[in-house]
Amino acid sequence: MFGDLQKKQEEIKQKLAEIQVSAEAGDGIIKVTVNGNRELVDVNIANDFDYDKEELEDLILVAVNKAMAEAAAKEQEESQRLINEMLPPGMGGMFGM
């Protein structure tokens, strides 16, 4: 049983690595992409921006935090799916799942 659990966890980790979510800040000046494992995979800064260094840093933080929150939601969905798959038939609705 624990081997199955470990296998499922690895499957989820691999699936989450393939899921990518993006978020923007500053009307598209900053766009970041993270995967479902909450790893930052891309940062894009538009060529035509009128922000100073401090404002740019703030926009990056906003975009990264938005993307991380969305990635956390995707991770939660996949974790709930795993739990439901592991429960015996007919018990998938237990515990609010």
Could you give all domains of the chain from N- to C-terminal order, each with its CATH number? 13-83 (3.30.1310.10)
- pLDDT the model gives residue 92: 56
pLDDT at 93: 57
The answer to whether 13 and 90 have CB atoms below 8 angstroms apart is no
Q: What's residue 97's pLDDT?
A: 47
- Neighbouring CB atoms inside 10 A of 34's CB total 25
| Residue keyed to tokens 């018990």 | 91
User: Which residues of the chain carry a pLDDT beneath 50?
Assistant: 97
Q: Work out the angle at residue 73's Cα, subtended by the Cα atoms of residues 93 and 44, and round it to the nearest 5 degrees.
A: 160
pLDDT in tens, 35-58: 999 999 999 999 988 889 999 999
